[in-house]
Amino acid sequence: MKPEIGNKTKDYGSSYLNQLWQTASGALVLCDANRQILKINSKFTELFHFSAQDCLGSNIEELITPAPFLPESDFVFKTTLSGTPVSIITVKQTIDEKLVNVFQIAVQVLSDSDDRLICYIFKAIARNTRQRTSDKVSDTELLNNAFENSFEAALYSNSEGEITRVNTAFLSEFGWSSDEITGQDISSIMIPPTIKPESEYINAMQRSGRILRLKTIRKKKDLSTQPVSLVCIPQNNDSETGYRIYSTSISAAQTSADVVARNDFKTCPSQGLHSGMFFQAKIDNFRTMEFISPGSASFAGYTEVELLSQVRPFATIILNEDRSMVLSAIEESLKNKEDYSITYRILNSFGDTLWVMERGKTFKLDGDKSNFCVGCIIDISETQKSTKDSSMARERIEKLHHIAARLQQCRSEGEIYRICTEAGQTVLNSACSSVFIMDDSELKQIASSGRELHDCSINCNPGMVELTLSTVSPCYFSARDIGDNLCPAGNSGACFRLSDKAVFQIISKSNSVFGNIDTRITELLLGYTQQNLKRITLQHQLISQALHDPLTGVHNRNYFNRIIELEEIRARRLGSSIGFIMVDIDKFKLVNDNYGHQTGDEVLIEVAKILGNALRKTDTVLRYGGDEFLIILTRMKADYCHLVENRIKNSMTNSNQLKMNDGTKITVSMGHAFWVAEAHETVDEVLRLADKIMYENKRKKFSTE
């Protein structure tokens, strides 16, 4: 049953939601946990052309989400419902099914009656906007209000791990008052002594800017413990590093960020940390490992099971010449109560020597308990081989690992190109970097970073970019190579091929071209970029293959099964009808027998082309099976099926490709039926009727032969 409309619309909100409704410049829509629309603002009507009467009580996905984007919308909804705000660039559709690019924010709020509600905000953006999909929201005010209104227990902490704020759900869940908990150290007041090192790991992840989900336990005010699912979200704020949500439901939901299960590494679903091997180890001569983050030891060639057992104690893979130095450095750290950072060599499982960097913190326990350390070990072999300036190289390799992790989370080519150009400045210390694409003989810049700081032309050094496309090797250049047209950003640069049509260009302020270490790190960056571009291309190909007929290029039956339910729901909502035209090629078996299967394939391709040209953009043609096609007509008038059939007949008659050498003319038989919302027949029954009429028309056509 729909809510009341107009001025009598129910007030669902918290004070935050009511304030947002009055001040927001975007299109707002409020939904319940079943995705039913409860409230919209005037901006929503302006953007999507739906009135309150049209949409209140409707499912938001059925209303404005195109069929191919339903899986994405489902992910956004479930993530938001778990307590994590989401922002994303996506596509929605208006009431007349026109597509519109939007920036979407979704946050969970708690109504005055303690109901979970989802608030969506939409803002239209230009079609050529390329922005990275993110699971973090940059709007500080929005995040703060989402925190305050979160259904889950949540708290903010500063860089020292001290609690700065808690929400109402937290106070109710754990028993403290705001005055009792504010200013307290999370580690000392909430983390049981048996898992104290966990706080160090959480702080490390916060500093690295990662979203962390962790199954663990927490202490309540009455000193009892309970299992929780912990979510730590980084914040770009000097005083508060992020907020942490403690859910007692132990949610199985995961982000694509690193997942760590401290006490159950064997069954953890994560494929490993991209920033190195996080560990906890005893301070002894064997460096006995007690915990290793899942999958992260692969650079050494060993499994977690080997390193966590007596089969392969970690000290045994450290080179003999470096082992005493490593042990002494850790003992010295324990004595001085300072963090340590050491560089040493290990032997991997193949017998190769690797340079690694280890950073960690030591902990001294009372009594006869074993002292231990926690930290991270990173493979820096390539850097160590390429430069004597190891401190700078280590920092750049760490940044490169972080960039690689971000690239693996990308969902579009535009997002990959943007991160690649940003890395030109953050990793390669360039003045600016760009990606160019050769599109139909025209060179286009599709991503850049740093260029806005300089008075540059759009096509900076186009000659070097075009030269790079025609060669295999990178093209290096300096100011003297480009004559009087000096680049305002720098004095030297290089162009590298990303693909047959794409070039990555980087400009430096240095008078000399890039050295070995610059080139090597650039190659690593572009290797990660190319790998993820191939991944995106493969994903698109797989989706396209699953929904299209490989011969004719039109949609297939899988696509029909995917969209027909959505079309039926939309037709019911709008009170419109759906037309179905079954099309069958006459005597197609004889075509294959008399002229060969290659000719038969050409006939299928030409017929599919004619059918597609006879339709509107909102209509669909698909290959239903063999030589049979199905046309789906949406929002049609009663006589529209006849109009389409006449177009098809005329095009078939005029097509030279459908005239065989012996004078035989290829024809088709058609039959149509249409479904209306108030009809008692199902869509399947209407399809069978159209199929029956088509075969009846075919029988009549050839009954005199």
Domains of the chain: 6-135 (3.30.450.20), 152-257 (3.30.450.20), 277-379 (3.30.450.20), 393-545 (3.30.450.40), 557-702 (3.30.70.270)
Q: Are 81 and 116 in contact (CB under 8 A)?
A: yes
Q: Which of 40-54, 55-69, 498-512 has the largest mean confidence? A: 40-54
Handedness of CA 126, 256, 547, 687 (dihedral sign): negative
Cα pseudo-dihedral 217, 220, 226, 229, rounded to 10: -50
453: pLDDT strictly greater than 60: yes
Active site residue 368: no
Amino acid of residue 498: L
Percentage above 70 pLDDT, the chain: 77
Rg (CA), the chain: 31
State the pLDDT confidence band at 212, using cuts at 50, 70 and 90.
low
Sequence-distant (≥ 6) Cβ neighbours of residue 263 within 8 angstroms: none
Condensed to tens digits (0 to 9), the pLDDT of residues 613-671 reads 988 888 899 998 889 999 998 887 767 888 899 999 999 888 888 888 887 888 999 99
Residue 692 pLDDT class (50, 70, 90 cuts): very high
- The CA distance from 703 to 697, in Å, is 10
Q: Supply the pTM of this predicted model.
A: 0.36
Judged on CB neighbours under 10 Å (0-12, 13-18, 19+), 13 is buried
Give pLDDT tens digits for 387-444. 445 556 677 778 888 888 888 888 888 889 899 888 888 888 778 888 888 887 788 8
Which amino acid is present at 629?
Answer: F
> Dmax of the chain from CA atoms?
104
Expressed in angstroms, the distance from the first to the final Cα of the chain is: 59
- Give percent of the chain with pLDDT exceeding 90: 12
pLDDT (average), residues 547-575: 86
128 Cβ partners below 8 Å, 6+ apart?
none
Residue tagged active-site, from 379, 584, 619, 627? 627
Judge contact between 265 and 294, C-beta under 8 A.
yes
